Amino acid sequence: MHLTFRSTDVTNATLATPDAHATFRVESHRMSPVSRTSTVHKTYPAADGGMQVGVLARIDWHCRPRPDVLHFDGNAVNSDVLFRNDGFRKRQFTFTGPDGRPYKWHADPDTVRLDAYDGATLATGHGAAHGPFGVRDGTLSINPAAYQMIDTIVMTFVYVEGIIEKRERGGAPPPPVC
């Protein structure tokens, strides 16, 4: 599955398929001077054959040292519990997937890549950019072998891209500036 988004801030973007079907939408709101909340919505088929939208996850961004909190599947998990952040310049985000196995996002200044425990690449992506030659859409490409955990991939992609946007790209930070 290939998803694209035009916003340079993935925490305020619509991730759509090539046929322009909005599959995921992320909206963020500042809750106070020191916190912000991003909600990830998912579009899925309704029982009547139409489409409906539901909340997939919520991310509560906080100032350090207080960890961010991710809400999904009825759980609230601190980011420092969900992710182990390591690697050179803390650009690797390891988490345990819904199947109990480890997965790792590798984040470079321009791209991110999700690898499975066996080294297989499950997803790749990059944020949108505006430059002198126009707009480069952001993308998230998910390997068909990973479709069973697409919700987890999208949620963690939004979180990792949000952190990288703040740390590396100097864009409008999703977390509050402390």
Check pLDDT > 50 for residue 146. yes
Give the pLDDT of residue 142: 95
Q: What is the DSSP letter of 9?
A: -
Give the pLDDT of residue 126: 85
Give the pLDDT of residue 86: 75
Confidence band, pLDDT 50/70/90 cuts, at residue 169: very low
- What are the sequence ranges of the domains in the chain? 2-169
Q: How far apart are CA 52 and CA 74, in angstroms?
A: 19
Check pLDDT > 90 for residue 157. yes
Tens-digit pLDDT profile for residues 4-19: 887 878 888 899 888 8
Tens-digit pLDDT profile for residues 40-52: 999 987 888 888 8
> What is Dmax (Cα atoms) for the chain?
50
Tens-digit pLDDT profile for residues 61-83: 887 678 889 999 899 999 989 99
Q: Where are the beta strands (DSSP E) in 81-145?
A: 83-86, 92-96, 102-107, 112-115, 121-126, 129-131, 134-136, 138-142
Note whether 125 and 141 are within 8 A (CB).
Answer: yes
